[in-house]
Amino acid sequence: MVEGTAARSNREPMGQKDMRIGTAEHEALDRDGYVLLGGAFTRQRVQSLREGVADLLERARGGACTIPWIDAAAGVPDRIGHMMHPDKYHPAWGQWLADDVAADLEALLQGPARHSLFGMLAGGAGHGYRMAWHRDIGKPGASDEADFLRRHHGRLIQFNAPLLEGDNFLHVVPGSHVRASTAEEIAAARAGVAGTIAAGIEVRLEPGDILYYNANLWHRGWNPDGHPRQTLHAAYWKAEYPVMIHEHGQQEALGAAAHLQRLPPQTRQLIQRYLDAHADAPKSLLDL
Ligand SMILES: O=C(O)CCC(=O)C(=O)O
């Protein structure tokens, strides 16, 4: 890895949400495969999200829902999925999406967005977390790899938004999202956690920041010493994409009438579009 960090675009929190994504942010996403908005959310917003997570952990400890734990006694969760589902939902994330995030997503995708996945990357208690370098749904080495990546670029967006300080656990290879993989990248993926990519950089995030990125950027999660981490992590697609295999199976949980009714309108719309895009025989992105 080179010594480098992702450039940040500092923005006024709140009140500016319609203007947050402009030419510079689109250019960054197209050029680098990611855009980092520094200081995008207020302290109060971060606090409400932390309280939502604390409440979720408390509910899980009480048996109201199930989450994976690194150390249940110490209250340290492992990565949690499906936090928009009724059992793990908290109004803090529904309100945050509606007030602060939905407009960014739709500006970056240049059109209506739909829910795909929403959860939290978590770590702590000295429990090491190491991922191999990867593209999320790519075809490294395929002859049509670059065409495939270009076809879907700007139509999916993923984010990491940390709630704890010093989040430098995501590594990325800038500009790797719309070109064929290099021999080094393919070898790194094959080598698993021992793989290295010289052009990889660490993304340094603090609470209130958000990194929007193309999930087919070469990247990895890397927290070998198991430092505390709570990072909201979610993915959205342009609404016209049918629900695919990797995100399928949420329609029953998300479609419960009482659940939909309690969501703020913009958040409900993101979920409703997922329900509308349901496919009985879902495909892989590789086949779209
Ligand atoms: O830990 C991270 O920030 C990255 C997670 C990741 O790469 C993945 O879920 O595919």
Report the CATH number at residue 166: 2.60.120.620
Atom 2 of ligand 1, residue of closest alpha carbon = 221
pLDDT in tens, 34-47: 999 999 999 999 99
Q: What pLDDT shows up at residue 18?
A: 54
> What is the sign of the dihedral through the CA atoms of 113, 280, 67 and 189?
negative
Q: Decide if pLDDT at 9 tops 80.
A: no
Report the predicted TM-score, pTM, of the whole model to 2 decimal places.
0.94
The percentage of the chain sitting over the pLDDT mark of 90, rounded to a whole number, equals 90
When pLDDT is averaged across residues 106-127 and rounded to a whole number, the result is 97
Q: Give the pLDDT band (50/70/90) at residue 13.
A: low
Calculate the CA 97 to chain-centre distance.
13
What's the domain count of the chain?
1
Residues with CB under 6 A from ligand 1: 121, 131, 136, 160, 169-170, 219-221
Q: What pLDDT shows up at residue 5?
A: 61
Q: Decide if pLDDT at 187 tops 60.
A: yes
**Chain length of the chain:** 288
pLDDT in tens, 154-174: 999 999 999 999 999 999 999
Atom 7 of ligand 1, residue of closest alpha carbon = 220
Atom 1 of ligand 1, residue of closest alpha carbon = 221
When pLDDT is averaged across residues 55-83 and rounded to a whole number, the result is 97
Q: What pLDDT shows up at residue 160?
A: 98
Q: Decide if pLDDT at 14 tops 60.
A: no
Tell me if 219 is assigned to some domain: yes
Query: Across the chain, what does the average pLDDT equal?
Result: 94
Tell me if 285 is assigned to some domain: no
Phi first, then psi, for residue 104 (nearest 5°) are: -60, -45
Q: Are strands 167-172 and 69-71 parallel, antiparallel or unpaired?
A: unpaired
Structure tokens, 275: 């329900």
Tell me if 96 is assigned to some domain: yes
Q: What pLDDT shows up at residue 287?
A: 85
Q: What pLDDT shows up at residue 284?
A: 87
When pLDDT is averaged across residues 48-54 and rounded to a whole number, the result is 98
Tell me if 284 is assigned to some domain: no
Helices (H), the chain: 23-32, 43-61, 91-96, 102-109, 145-152, 183-190, 251-254, 257-262, 265-276
Tell me if 184 is assigned to some domain: yes
pLDDT in tens, 143-156: 999 999 999 999 99
Tell me if 252 is assigned to some domain: yes
Taking residue 236's Cβ as centre, other Cβ atoms within 10 Å add up to: 28
Tell me if 215 is assigned to some domain: yes
Domain interval for residue 45? 8-279
- CA–centroid distance, residue 202 to ligand 1 (Å): 13
Q: Give the pLDDT band (50/70/90) at residue 20.
A: confident
Tell me if 286 is assigned to some domain: no
- CA–centroid distance, residue 32 to ligand 1 (Å): 17
Question: In this structure, which amino acid lies at residue 206?
Answer: E
DSSP 96: H
Q: Decide if pLDDT at 255 tops 60.
A: yes
Q: Decide if pLDDT at 176 tops 60.
A: yes
